[in-house]
Amino acid sequence: MADADPTVAGLAELTEVMRQLRRECPWKREQTHASLVRYLLEETHETVEAIETGDPDHLREELGDLLLQVWFHAVVAEEQGDFTMADVAAGIVAKLRRRNPHVFGDAPQGDAHTINEVWESIKAQEKQRDSVTDGLPGSLPALLYADKVVDRLAREGAPVDADPGGDLGERLLALVVEARAAGADPEQALRHAVRRRLG
């Protein structure tokens, strides 16, 4: 008989640990989706930092902390009868299968750009957006928000013509357009530049 997948066993154990903590730890029992938002944001930023510093041990730890937040929310939802972690996993598996027809369907293979375009096209059909900003959280960092809007407008055939000689906002927007044209992430580029200045 083949050995059990240690990943499956580990995630099952994580589920049981989270359920026990919700039952037996007063602080964890009091938490709600809303009260946990700050921790989800903190752990996301710490994971980004671990990726950008290139330390695999740090990244492993931060991915664990981020996974904890996902599991925490799923167990809270499970208690409320909303959904379970199995539902979360099934949803993302179905999405990955739908949006990767070159792997799970009969669509032809292509380069990375073509595959991303297929993903975005399928996503747009699924979301049925009424405006270019539908589904974009207003809490996104400004550069990331601008990057997403510029991308969506370009896909609709309405590229942004920002004025690099305009006011500060226009100049920043022009830099986002420039970054997109160069295939760069403006948020990441700015963080790297600041780190370089700090030595």
Domain-terminating residue out of 83, 101, 120: 83
Burial of 53 (0-12, 13-18, 19+ CB in 10 A): exposed
Domain-terminating residue out of 49, 83, 117: 83
Amino acid (one-letter) located at 153? L
CATH number at residue 58: 1.10.287.1080
Give the model's pLDDT for residue 113. 85
Instruction: Count, in order, helices (H) and strands (E) of the chain.
Output: 10, 0
The pTM for the full model equals 0.78
Enter the DSSP assignment of 5: P
pLDDT surpassing 80 at residue 154: yes
Give the model's pLDDT for residue 1. 44
Q: How many domains does the chain have?
A: 2
Length of the chain: 199
Per the prediction, the chain carries an average pLDDT of 91
As a whole number, mean pLDDT of residues 35-40 equals 95
pLDDT surpassing 90 at residue 141: no
The answer on 78 and 18 residing in a single domain is yes
Tell whether 118 is covered by a domain. Answer: no
Give the model's pLDDT for residue 78. 97
Alpha helix (H) residue ranges in 25-129: 26-30, 33-53, 56-80, 85-99, 101-104, 112-127
**Residue 105: strand, helix, or coil:** coil
- For the segment 39-70, what is each residue's pLDDT rounded down to a tens digit? 999 999 999 999 988 999 999 999 999 999 99
Tell whether 164 is covered by a domain. Answer: yes
- For the segment 108-138, what is each residue's pLDDT rounded down to a tens digit? 888 898 898 888 888 878 887 778 788 888 8
**Tokens coding 181:** 């044209």
**More confident site: 77 or 150:** 77
Tell whether 94 is covered by a domain. Answer: no
pLDDT surpassing 60 at residue 146: yes
The domain containing residue 74 runs over which residues? 6-83
